[in-house]
Structures are given as structure tokens and as C-alpha cells.
Amino acid sequence: MKVRIEQVRVGRVQAFGPKGEPSAYRKHETGGPVAVDTLGIVGDEQADRKHHGGVDKAILHYARDHYSDWRAERPELAQHLAEPGAFGENLSTLGLTEDRVCVGDRFLVGTASVEVSQGRQPCWKLGYRFGSAAMVRDVLRTGRGGWYYRVLEAGQVGVGDSIELTERPCPEWTVLTVSRLLLGECRDPETLATLAELPALSENWRARARRKLENLSRRLRD
């Protein structure tokens, strides 16, 4: 599995929300190869470090493949979908989607080594960017949310570089499957217990699995 990097994008914190809330959601294309370190692409910022960024969410990848789907389903939003960047992504490619990428997948991105850590949970900023709060619901419904990488080895990345799969330890846990289980309803305690201990899954999502398991166990007892 090897595809070409179509765009590399970074953003600076600026006023974004309806009340001027700070965010680096809006990202611009980089002019050339950029460094990648343990916190992501150098030059990319996050305003809310509690919910964004960090080691487990260092780089956000979104499939350019989905843009045509969104234009077909939501033609009124076509102006927002003319170019990559509408989903606040750092990396844009064709050929990698949530049903083809697994948690724990290791990729060589340019010269950096990265690992898929979790899917992306959409928040209000996505709805604000599109001028439609329904986009948050639609992303959850379709599973077209994108995914995050943690950086295993620093390096450089630029447009035209390749993303190449080097290791797949968890082929049964696609990003789509895990996202639907943890962002939606899961009534299988064995599945939740497995996800709660899945080493490649981000600590935040393992904790989410543990909470779901506790809530499910409580309902079963009651």
C-alpha cells in the first residue's frame, strides 16, 4: 500500500469561532519539505491542547477521496469542498480511506515513521467551518472522519512524497470499525475489553472503551 502525498498543510492559531474562539483549524499548504517531530508537522499549532494535538494526535490525515462524496451528497456545500483543507487536515491523499487503514498501521511518510493511533472525533469547529451543524452528525454517520498518527521517528515530508505501509499488526481493527464502535453504540463487552487493552490505540480512546465497558456492565447488572 503506497500512495502519493497530494498536500501538506499547517495552521497557526487565530480567531475562528462565532465569538472569535482561537483555533488552528484553517491550514495552508506548505511551500516545500517540512520537518516532522514527535508533536507533528513543525509549524502546525493547536489552540486547545486538551482535545487536540499531543503525541497521540500529532498529524491528522483526511482522504481527498471523500470530497467527491460530500459534493454529491451535500451540493450546497460545494464551495467549501473545492480544495483540500476543509476538514482541517495536515495530510491529503487519494487511495487511503478509513476502511482501508487500521489502528496500529505503520507508515513511512516522507522520511518520518508514523503509526495510526485513532480516528478523528468531529467537534463543533467542523460544523462552523461548513456553516452547517449537521456536518458533525453526517461525519459520524458516514465514518468519513479521518485519522490521527503518532510519530515514531522524526523526519521530513513534502508534496509528492509517498506514504507507504510498512507494518500492520491489527488488520481486524480498521479505523472505520473502531470509530463506529467507540463513537457510536457497542453492546459487546468482549469487544470493548479488547479495545481497552489495544496497545496501538490512543490512551484517550482506550479510556473511552473502558468507560463504555463500565457503563455496559452497570446496565447489565441493573
The stretches in the chain having pLDDT less than 50 are none
Per-residue pLDDT, 212: 96
- Give me the CATH topology for the region 2-169: M1 Pyruvate Kinase; Domain 3 (2.40.33)
Q: Can you tell me the distance from the alpha carbon of 129 to that of 135, in angstroms, rounded to the nearest whole number? A: 9
Per-residue pLDDT, 52: 76
Q: Can you tell me the distance from the alpha carbon of 120 to that of 139, in angstroms, rounded to the nearest whole number? A: 10
Per-residue pLDDT, 222: 64
Per-residue pLDDT, 119: 98
